[in-house]
Chain A
Amino acid sequence: MGVLAILLLIVLMTIGVPVAWSFAAVLAYLVFIYDVNMTTLLLQGFRSLDHIILLALPLFVLAGYLMKSGGIARRLVDFIEMLVRGRRGGLGASMVYASGIFGAISGTASGAVASIGTIMIGPLAERGYPRGYASALLGISSLLGILIPPSVTMILFGVVTRQSITALFAATIGPALLLMLGLTLFNRFCAGRLFTENHPDDTMPGQKIASRWSITKSALPALSLPFLILGGIYGGICTPTEAAAVAVVAAIIIGFFFYRDLTLSRLRDSVVASAETTGTIMLILLFSFMIGRILTAERVPQELTEWITTLVQNPLLILLIVNAFLIITGMIMDDLSVTVVIAPLLMPLVVSAGVDPIHYGAIVACSVVIGANSPPVAPILYMACRIGQVSIHHAIMPAIWMILVVGLPVMMVTTFIPEVSLFIPRMLGVM
């Protein structure tokens, strides 16, 4: 019965019913088959949203919007581009690094796609990078936003599984560094082989040559943001939620007074746009939390665990099955649904295989990196294609190669070498 609910969810989503209302329909189905008490059902959904930890989500989403409208993203790109200028595959690599630093301020991937993409895809195309390739690279790089803290994905995972956000944030740094390294090497290999990179010694076409010092000076306020956020969390000044508010306030100050790109009307538009993004996520969460409650009360995760453990006992094999499950559902579901519905469903199984929940959080984050870029349901890749103004068909093959050569190995290493994810949280003493 519970499995049928997941199937129904997939069918509704695939035919194009908005994710939130697909969840609502599945909830209605579960209420119908399980005779659920409806007096307190929505109240339970409300209680799940009513968490101080979840406040970090709207705030980090808002911080992401403010980075774009406040000119912070552009200064970051200029700075990174200056550092890697003239190297083979340099401009591609700078998109990876820019996404990484952007990720240290923003909590989502879509923010990086929109801001880094609008700034960089054009110059990349002029430099000779195929638009499909550039969009695929943008899509997967932007996912650094959820691996490098702060991360909305880890906030959600922490809320549904009741793990410490501070520890989860630290656990995905290792995989993020691996992903950056992998993408840089992949891009360096492709540049000059799969396509010719034009005049790599120049600056970005059309850009005025500014002095290294003036670019650096201009980037300093932007570069201070990651230190403010991560330093605040791990330096004992604030909790992750509070760091999100600090990020918003700092982004507004920098946008208004340092870069002066931010105007009142841009600020208003950013706030409304981020409220809308937050709202869509929260409606999905509201319904998925209620679904989760019913499934737990009906002991579906436990039965799934028992069923799989009667078939397989080897912990390594169980982990492989979990990985496969996460990747397959990641292909056919959106990243949010995988994080809040599928991941907790598999959690008892993973814990029974001796895996630390924080380590599992890192595995889930890696699977989201893959899932968000793997067709047919690849929201981030599709968005990157819209920004890159290229048909999806041109981006699919490069995306698949990046997933096979970089994304999957990173996920496997993260899965089977716990130190990759757990080293940093242990070093920081947060677990």
Chain B
Amino acid sequence: DTIKLKMATDTGSKGSPTGNALDNWAEIIQKKTAGTPDEIKINIFYQDELGDQKEVFDLFMAGEVDMMLNWPLTSYDKRMGLRNMPYMFLSWDQAFDAYRPGGWLNTIYNEVHNDQGLTFFGAWPEGFGGVATRGKYATTVEGAKGIKVRVPSNFPNPQTMQALGYQATAITWGEVYTSIQTGVVDGDAGNIIYWDYEYFRDVLTHYTRTKHVFVTGVLSMNTETWEELNPNQQKIVADAALLVMEKQFADAKALDQSYVDKAVAGGMEYIEPTEEELRALAKVAREQVWPQMEAEVGPELVQQVRENAPKL
């Protein structure tokens, strides 16, 4: 008989890029199984429909939600924060190679998710993060001195920004706009340009692509539900996820560029540090933050990153 699954995302409403990806994933699965004995029906919940990011992740861990495209929290397992490790890649190609099936980061993520009772399918990248600021910007550690930026508080984001020279502070998302406007902080760090343009463009003047983090969501499933599927269904679900991932690797770059164009047309200054500056930033962040990562995610994982990450 038909299996009914709940699919959710913690970011993006219906019609947003994330929402469309969910629709796409569900549609492929439903089309391939429709009318067969292996029929799967999927109920989709977009951002906020089941609660905020933490709440939906709790539901996912408890098996109340079956499949997700999410930005996994580190609260259950710190190793989930591996994707925030600064400067693991410097290009899209390096990122794709790492996350594709069989890629080194895919293998690591598989293990980490398995330990949490989750089945990992692949990455859903948004692009390289940067620092969006008002009135000033920096491409060097020296230049960043005294620039106050809002940073997501999960490890190692604040530590990375500190290493890059900024003054890091935690402010709830809802107060970021007004905090930049009134001058409590000078900007927002760690997001791709899409979010900074969509939410804060009226109060921002610069976007500097520091590339310190490769922002990506994750396609995964609760393992208990996964094991209720038969091998054919499992293959259909995993293959569909792979298609969604490949499509996003193809689309994300163009989408990201389109927001760069929009931001520039809207009067925002877009800065790309030179290769040399970028390498200098990456060097500092790797030297200062990577050793701290050992205590957080374990020396073995960090060792694997050291072996696989591109040399500077």
Interface residues of A (CB under 8 A from B): 37, 39-40, 43-44, 47, 51-53, 158, 162-167, 233-240, 293, 296-297, 428-430
Contact = CB atoms under 8 A, between A and B. Distances in A.
Contact of A239 (B55, B58, B59, B171): B171
Given A37-B62, A44-B55, A430 B182 contact: yes
Interface in B191-213: 203
Contacts of A51: 172
Given A47-B51, A52-B172, A296-B49, A166 B182 contact: yes
A167 B174 CA distance: 10
B52 A47 contact: yes
Contact of B174 (A163, A234, A429): A163
A230 B127 CA distance: 39
Nearest to A302: B49
What 3 A-B pairs are tightest by C-beta distance, nearest first? A236-B183, A166-B178, A236-B182
B64 interface: yes
B49 A40 contact: no
A47 B181 contact: no
Interface of B: 49-52, 54-55, 58-59, 62, 64, 170-172, 174-175, 177-179, 181-184, 203
A231 to B, nearest CB: 11
Nearest to B178: A166
Contacts of B174: 53, 158, 162-165
Given A44-B51, A162-B174, A165-B175, A239 B64 contact: no
A239 B174 CA distance: 11
Nearest to B59: A40
B183 A293 contact: no
A40 B64 contact: yes
A37 B171 CA distance: 32
A164 B64 contact: no
B73 to A, nearest CB: 11
Contacts, number: 67
Contacts of A39: 62, 64
B58 A40 contact: yes
Given A47-B55, A158-B174, 15 more contacts: A40-B59, A43-B55, A43-B58, A44-B55, A47-B58, A52-B172, A53-B172, A164-B178, A166-B178, A166-B182, A233-B182, A239-B171, A239-B175, A293-B51, A296-B49
Contacts of A235: 182-183
A158 B178 CA distance: 13
Given A47-B55, A164-B175, A167-B178, A239 B49 contact: no
Contacts of A40: 55, 58-59, 62, 64
B53 to A, nearest CB: 9
A52 B170 CA distance: 10
A234 B62 contact: no
A37 B64 contact: yes
A110 B62 CA distance: 42
Nearest to B53: A47
Contacts of B62: 37, 39-40
A119 B50 CA distance: 49
A297 B49 contact: yes
Contacts of A236: 182-184
A47 B175 CA distance: 18
24 contacts: A37-B64, A40-B58, A40-B59, A43-B58, A44-B51, A47-B52, A47-B55, A47-B58, A52-B172, A53-B172, A53-B175, A164-B177, A165-B175, A166-B175, A234-B182, A235-B183, A239-B171, A239-B179, A239-B184, A293-B55, A296-B49, A297-B50, A430-B178, A430-B181
A430 B180 CA distance: 9
B167 to A, nearest CB: 14
Contacts of B59: 37, 40
Nearest to B50: A297
Nearest to A430: B178
A312 B51 CA distance: 30
A264 B278 CA distance: 56
A254 B226 CA distance: 62
Contacts of A44: 51, 55, 58
Contacts of B183: 235-236
Nearest to A50: B54
Contacts of A293: 51, 55
Nearest to A429: B181
B33 to A, nearest CB: 26
Contacts of A234: 182
Contacts of B49: 296-297
A172 to B, nearest CB: 15
Contacts of A233: 182
A188 B144 CA distance: 59
A97 to B, nearest CB: 27
Contacts of A240: 175
A198 B246 CA distance: 84
Nearest to A293: B51
B182 A47 contact: no
A47 B53 CA distance: 10
Nearest to A297: B50
Contacts of A37: 59, 62, 64
Contacts of A238: 184
A296 B52 CA distance: 12
A236 B148 CA distance: 12
Contacts of B171: 239
A164 B58 CA distance: 26
Nearest to B60: A40
A421 B64 CA distance: 42
Contacts of B50: 297
Nearest to A162: B174
A39 B181 CA distance: 41
Contacts of B64: 37, 39-40
Contacts of B179: 166, 239
A366 to B, nearest CB: 22
A40 B62 CA distance: 7
A69 B64 CA distance: 50
A37 B174 CA distance: 29
A428 B64 CA distance: 44
B11 to A, nearest CB: 14
Nearest to B170: A52
Nearest to A44: B55
Contacts of B182: 166, 233-236, 428, 430
